[in-house]
Amino acid sequence: MTQDYSYKTSNNELISITTFGNESIESRDCIFFVHGFKGFKDWGFGPYLAKYLAAKGFFVVTFNFSHNGVHRPVDEFTQLDKFSQNTYSLEVKELKELLNAYRDGFFGNVESTNKIGLLGHSRGGGISIVSASVSGAVNALVTWSSISKFDRFTERQKKEWRKNGMHEIINARTKQVMKLSISLLDDIEKNGEDLLNLEEATKKLNIPYLIIHGEQDLAVRLDEAEQIYSWSNKSITKFETIPKTGHTFDVKHPFEGSNEKFDRVLEMTAGFFTDALIK
């Protein structure tokens, strides 16, 4: 069973949400799926992984950050003005609000003993690490293909960014020119040493954590996963690599079906959350 919601944030922004496993929500532990850069809840494996985890007994929340650029249609970037104004700190703030909304009964009454897991992909992995480190509401964390740093720009790029007021990127899938305003650069420079410091955030984690990364990831290379693992508490952190696959584990958008490698990712993820949250 799935259900769609629209959540209004404290900034009066709308977040589109789809949940899975709504039956017996009051007693099911919850998993939030956090999409990455140029990502959205309905990209490729999003609905499939949510259905998979719901079938394992979880209540699963998938959502679009308010400034990810996607509203309607569900898989097209029609809000490029909002996309340009997005920041990492905004996403951390919105995820915190959604975690609180779950606890406060936005999706339905839930038991106080219900546990929460975060599953973040790519940039969403970084957002999830930070959010888990600053929120006492998160009980377990899984990241797929996670970044190890938010500042992913050269000094030359940042100089041109300041000069032009915008930094342009090309969406390989849609061929759109997507702009990033100064607000993102300001966020990096203002909060890079505290809120957005992924090394410090990882070191603060005191919950079970699973890192999964494709060995042939060209978008976020394997050494970033190795860096995150080096910062982690090894007694509660597991690190798994998936051979001969890349950033999205050979899954495409539009979704064409799963594959042996992604099936393995799902099996490890579900098993980890079952051990960390349910047992």
**Maximum Cα–Cα distance for the chain, whole Å?**
54
> From 3.40.50.1820, 3.40.50.1000, 3.40.50.2300, 3.40.50.280, which CATH number describes the 2-78+86-150+193-278 domain?
3.40.50.1820
Domains of the chain by residue range: 2-78+86-150+193-278
* Pairing mode, strands 2-8 and 14-20: antiparallel
Q: What are phi and psi of 156, to 5 degrees?
A: -65, -45
Global pTM value: 0.98
Q: What is the pLDDT of residue 20?
A: 98
Question: Would you state the structure tokens that stand for residue 149, as one six-digit string?
Answer: 């740093």
Q: What is the pLDDT of residue 21?
A: 96
CA distances from residue 113 to 26, 99, 144, 234 in whole angstroms, order as listed: 10, 14, 27, 27
Q: What is the pLDDT of residue 279?
A: 77
Question: In terms of Cα–Cα distance, which of 85, 45, 47, 43 is closest to 67?
Answer: 85
Work out the angle at residue 215's Cα, subtended by the Cα atoms of residues 197 and 195, and round it to the nearest 5 degrees: 10
| Contact between 130 and 201 (Cβ < 8 Å) | yes
Q: What is the pLDDT of residue 144?
A: 99
The three-state secondary structure class of 24 is coil
- CA–CA distance, 63 with 41 (Å, rounded to integer): 5
Per-residue pLDDT of the chain (279 residues), as tens digits, is 899 999 999 999 999 999 999 998 999 999 999 999 999 999 999 999 999 999 999 999 999 999 999 987 788 999 999 999 999 999 999 999 999 999 999 999 999 999 999 999 999 999 999 999 999 999 999 999 999 999 999 999 999 999 999 999 999 999 999 999 999 999 999 999 999 999 999 999 999 999 999 999 999 999 999 999 999 999 999 999 999 999 999 999 999 999 999 999 999 999 999 999 987
* Amino acid in position 217: D
* Amino acid in position 251: V
Q: Angle 182-191/88-103 helices, nearest 10 degrees?
A: 80
Residues in the chain: 279
H/E stretch holding 16 reads: strand 14-20
Name the CA radius of gyration of the chain, rounded.
Answer: 18
- CA–CA distance, 93 with 66 (Å, rounded to integer): 11
Residue 175 half-sphere exposure, CB side, CA atoms within 13 Å? 0
Question: Would you state the structure tokens that stand for residue 203, as one six-digit string?
Answer: 């070191």
Q: What are phi and psi of 278, to 5 degrees?
A: -90, -45
- CA–CA distance, 177 with 31 (Å, rounded to integer): 33
- CA–CA distance, 110 with 107 (Å, rounded to integer): 8
**Among the residues of 20-110, which ranges form H helices?**
46-55, 80-84, 88-103
Question: In terms of Cα–Cα distance, which of 90, 118, 42 is closest to 190?
Answer: 90
